[in-house]
Amino acid sequence: MTALVVIGASFRTAPVGVRERLALTAERNRCLVAGIVGNGDAAEAVAISTCNRTELYLTGDDAVALARTALAELRAVAGEHDLLPAEVFYDHRGDPAALHLYRVAAGLDSLVPGEAEVLGQVREAIALARAARGAGPVLSRLFDGAIDSARRVRGQTAIGENAASIGSVAAGVAAAAASGLEGAAVLVIGAGQTAELVVTSLAARGAGTIRVTNRTLERAVVLATRFGGEAVPMSRLASEVARADIVVSATHAPHAILTPAEVGDRTARPLLVIDLAVPRDADPALRLVPGVVVHDVDALETTVSRNLALRESEAVAGEAIVAREVEAFRRWLVALDVVPAITGLRALAEAIRRDELDRVAGRFEAMTPRDRELIEQVTRTIVNKLLHEPTVRMKDGPELARTVQRLFDLPVR
């Protein structure tokens, strides 16, 4: 039977420091996959590498050997100077391996349930494997099925609705306040991970102008450049706030950096301040300034928690869709393994039928073509009826197919 194995490490089993060591560039991904298949260590191979997970999917004849190969390859990626313990990795084989991929593609195994980015990463993984000649019929069918299943989950449930990260919620609040972000001038204070999530979400929503300021200007330049924005020095903070319609602040400053004196009266041009910092970047007194509206991290996290609960409830429906799709793949894989036995048994029966007819054909001198046709039909019907039930039973599992191959001395692929 075709064995399917996935060995991997994700945010559930490994800290970010370990996941960084396992990360694969596109070129390294292709080389890894091509090497495994080229060396004969697996019939097929696909590697998924994202910030939250690195996984290696292999197929072949021996699940134990495949798992051993996958673990060794991932440890080699991480570097042999510090051997990663087995506890860092998860090991799924057979149906659980297929279910795992389907759940990953649908966002059901994500840090934020229903996140859409992982589906694109699964598409990229199978594309890289095909380019490296690592994906054959089994893994191509598995990954294509997982991608189709993920589309159904997103189309038939609301798991992808309701922003479920601080960055996306902040961008949503900003968009709602500005009735769209196309013409809004946005100032982002900070250039760390939270600020990056906010800028990503703002850019995805079409923010018109994004300026980034940070205590270290170089980091602001890197972040702003990625999204076509502009980096400005922190020394210009007051003037940049005056130009902004929306200010999103996410620094690690030990004290407030946005005060009423710096902001001034905004009655003529309202200002939305989204404060994601802890401790807060916005002085509490800023709420009293005319024309200024302040949202702090507690208010946004309440929205995130509510939306996560909604997504988790939708995930139940998603799990049901995935379970049905995985069962369809399982039936296909079983059929793939039993086809040689079914084909071999029918070929043997047909050969016997033809030989026997040919052997006795000369004894019936008065046989007409019509008689021969009737005998052909009768004998073919007998063979089909005899083989119908064994054929159906073999589709229940490869064990019966292997038994039939042994009983009738059929060739094993």
Query: What residues are annotated to the active site?
Result: 51
The full DSSP string for 150-216 is: HHHHHHHSSTT-S--SHHHHHHHHHHHHTTSSTT-EEEEE--SHHHHHHHHHHHHTT-SEEEEEESS
Q: Report the distance separating Cα 39 and Cα 233, nearest Å.
A: 54
Whose structure tokens read 């906010």? Answer: 198
Q: Which residues contact 28 (CB under 8 A, 6 or more apart)?
A: 77
| Inter-residue long-range contacts of 311-316, CB under 8 Å, 24+ positions, other chains counted | 311/112, 311/113, 311/114, 311/158, 311/159, 311/161, 311/162, 311/164, 312/113, 314/113, 314/114, 314/157, 314/158, 314/159, 314/161, 315/108, 315/113, 315/114, 315/157, 315/159
